[in-house]
Amino acid sequence: MSTRGCIFYLCFLLLCFTAISQPVKKNIALLEKKIALCKDDTNKVLLYMSLADTLNRENFPDTAFIIDQKAWLLAGKLKYSHGLVLSLIKLGSFYEVTKKDYAEAISYYKKAIKISETQRLYTDIHLSYGCLLNMYYYFGDYPGAMAIAQKGLVFAERQNDKEKLAHYNNQFGFIYLKQEKPAESIKYYGQYLKLAMQIGSPAILADSYNCMADAYLLENDYKAALHYHFTALGLYKKINSGQTPNKNNRVHKSDRVIYTLFKISNAYKLQGHYQLSLQYALKGFSYINENGASTGNPYDLASYYITTGEVYMALKDYTHAMQFLNNGLSLSKAIRHREDILEAYSGLSKIFVLQKRYDNAYHYQELYVALKDSMISEKVSRAIEQVRSSFESDRKDREIALLNQRQKLKETESENKSLFLNIVVGFFTLLAVISYLILYIDNTHKKQKQAQEKQLAVQNERQRISGDMHDDIGTGLSTMLIYVNLLKSKLSGKLEYPDIERVASLGDELVAQMKEIVWSLNPDNDSLESLLIFIRQYFAQLFEPMPYRTSIVFPSVIPAVALKGVIRRNVYLSIKETLNNVIKHANADWVELKVQLDPDKLIISIKDNGTGFPCNSDGKLFGNGLKNIQRRMDKIDGKFQFLNDGGTLISIELNL
């Protein structure tokens, strides 16, 4: 380093000293002195990184980043592989933790992996794998995580490293847990538990018990899950704080006790014992406050808030539930952890439904569905890309093997060369085609299955919402009408009470509107027959008490055609708007509903003998009602027409 560079470097660090404690200043000064006296060798690389670690602990990440860059540059100059890997990991950690630039962090971790794999640096391989695994878990990229864990397991098996074998079996169990496959999860967590017993570390053993509990929770075996959680809690309380389970990681007693308390809270929540669940959750937060304990990472803290919010919601304490769910959502968004964001959206949607604040509930449900769909789409794309890359790699290997065979046969069997090569080429070509077809069919089947599962989930959610609205709101409105009618009967013959009549009328309207909403949400009504019958009933009930002559032209046979809920709702609301316009504006005494069915087309028309619609100078119609009908038809690719001819004829047309 030049004299000018040293002076600049020292001045830069002195700017930080006023905010650092005296002992830390001495430590930094000592490290700087060692760096200044040290020649450019591997020891200087490690001193740079030690100084950066000290600055990070004192919350000077930007300064630490500059020092880590110096370590990286010097390690590259010296071709010091271990130093390159460590400095790349530290630079990636800066982008991950400080800048939240996860794409840049992943690029650094992959560079570290490439160097450690090429140079066969066993410890560095697992260290860099762990960093990349954490990023994949943050983004819910379980196919990517599985690939890294499989590679790590291969290296661990070569070295017969029981701690690493336990670690990667733990990763497999976690991945299958997230894919909701309890049998596979229990299998690998069981291997993790077996290896933990052989290793003899209480910290690793306690973690394996917690993992087994998670897998049994997936099978709704709450008794077994709670047994494992309480066993883990007992072990964590006995071990010394900071006990080292392996060479690279340290376990903080307070952190793991808090983690297990919230695991127990979650198990009781799933079991339906909400008071016990809340009790252990509050113990966890109390432990954090009393001990000043670190929760390990913001992912855990976000999940603690969300879990506790769901417990309060189950106990109908919506104020606290909203507070904890919003805290969890804010933290999840800050760290961009999409699985926790998804859970928070779901919880907030449910709590707004319970509070009958359906606009807010619908908003968070839309956010939930959009995020879940994007995660599913990205996961499937990544998995397919991995399979495709693996297939291409295998095909290249087969082609290389075939070329070698050709060369060998050319030297030894010249007379039979042509025939033999043709057979081999034909065989491998056929094998490649068959493999491709199998892969294509399998991928197509998976896509269809996922689409069906997604559609079923949406239908179930619509069914649940419609049922809740019917049972809760519908029952409440009906009860209100009963009391209003009782009140009317009690006051019969006395003074007139127009307000009571207004309440009764409004209640009738709300009940009717509720029936319409429930009908539109219920997936059981997603058919052409249900739509037409509902329209016919509405037409008959609307005009029955009125002095109108009516006519209904209806098909005798309605084909079994499925219609999405959004199509049914827009068609029905368009017809409703039209019929109400007839009553309000047409001055008619006759109205006709006509339904026509072609093989692939539905036409519904409303005709009256009234005064017709007024037009402006451009020949366009006035009124928001007709504009609303036009917008609704545009949404579902339908057609809307009107005609003034001895009254009004309005028709809508929809391709089936």
Tens digits of residue pLDDT in 575-593: 999 999 899 888 899 999 9
Mean pLDDT of 222-238: 93
Residue 641: CA atoms inside 13 Å, Cβ hemisphere, count? 12
If you average pLDDT over residues 307-330, what whole number do you get? 91
pLDDT value at residue 3: 41
Give yes or no for a contact between 28 and 51, defined as CB atoms under 8 angstroms apart: yes
Indicate if the pLDDT at residue 481 is higher than 70: no
- The pLDDT assigned to 14 comes to 45
Q: What is the pLDDT of residue 462?
A: 58
CB atoms within 10 A of CB 565: 18
- The confidence score (pLDDT) of residue 640 equals 92
Q: Provide φ and ψ at 477, rounded to 5°.
A: -65, -45
Tokens read off for 615: 């037009």
Question: For the packed helices 162-178 and 122-139, what is the interaxial angle rounded to 10 degrees?
Answer: 10
Residue 381 reports pLDDT greater than 50: no
Q: Is the pLDDT score of 617 beyond 50?
A: no
Pairwise pLDDT comparison (20 vs 90), residue with the higher score = 90
Mean pLDDT of 132-150: 87
Confidence class for position 447, pLDDT limits 50, 70, 90: confident
Q: How much of the chain is in helix, strand and coil states, percent to nearest 5?
A: 75, 5, 20
Element (H, E) at 495: none
* 356 vs 462, higher pLDDT: 356
Q: Is 330 left (phi over 0), alpha (psi -120 to 50) or beta?
A: alpha
Residue 523 pLDDT grade (very low, low, confident, very high; cuts 50, 70, 90): confident
**Tens-digit pLDDT profile for residues 77-96:** 999 999 999 999 999 999 98
629 against 455, higher pLDDT? 629
- Of all residues in the chain, what percent carry a pLDDT higher than 90? 39
Average pLDDT over the chain, rounded to whole?
Answer: 82
Which is more confident, 406 or 443? 443
User: What integer pLDDT is reported at residue 137 of this predicted model?
Assistant: 85
Residues 244-259: tens digit of each pLDDT: 444 444 456 778 898 8
* pLDDT on residue 249: 45
Phi and psi (nearest 5°) for 230?
Answer: -70, -30
Q: What is the mean pLDDT of residues 287-299?
A: 67
> Is the pLDDT confidence value at 242 over 80?
no
Q: Is the entire prediction scored with pTM above 0.95?
A: no
Q: What's the rounded Cα separation, in Å, for the pair 419 and 402?
A: 14
Mean pLDDT in residue range 523-538: 90
d(CA 208, CA 189) in angstroms, rounded, equals: 7
Instruction: Categorize the per-residue pLDDT at 495 as very low, low, confident or very high, splitting at 50, 70 and 90.
Output: low
More confident residue, 239 or 262: 262
Separation CA 366–CA 368 (nearest Å): 5
Query: Among 574, 560, 440, 594, which residue's Cα sits nearest to residue 520?
Result: 574
Q: pLDDT band for position 645 (50/70/90)?
A: confident
Over 90: is that where the pLDDT of 296 sits? Answer: no
620 burial via Cβ count (<10 Å: 0-12, 13-18, 19+): exposed
Question: For 586-613, what is the mean pLDDT?
Answer: 91
Give the pLDDT confidence score for residue 496 in this predicted structure. 60
Q: Which CATH number is associated with domain 526-655?
A: 3.30.565.10
- Per-residue model confidence (pLDDT) at position 161: 93
Contact 129, 151 (CB under 8 A): yes
Between residues 60 and 385, which one has the greater pLDDT?
60
Residue 18 confidence (pLDDT) above 50: no
pLDDT tens digit string along 23-42? 667 777 777 778 888 888 99
Is 518 a residue whose pLDDT tops 90?
no
Q: Would you kindly state where each structural domain of the chain is located, as residue ranges?
A: 413-523, 526-655
The H or E element spanning position 649 is strand 648-655
Question: For residues 401 and 425, is the Cβ–Cβ distance under 8 A?
Answer: no
pLDDT at residue number 445: 84
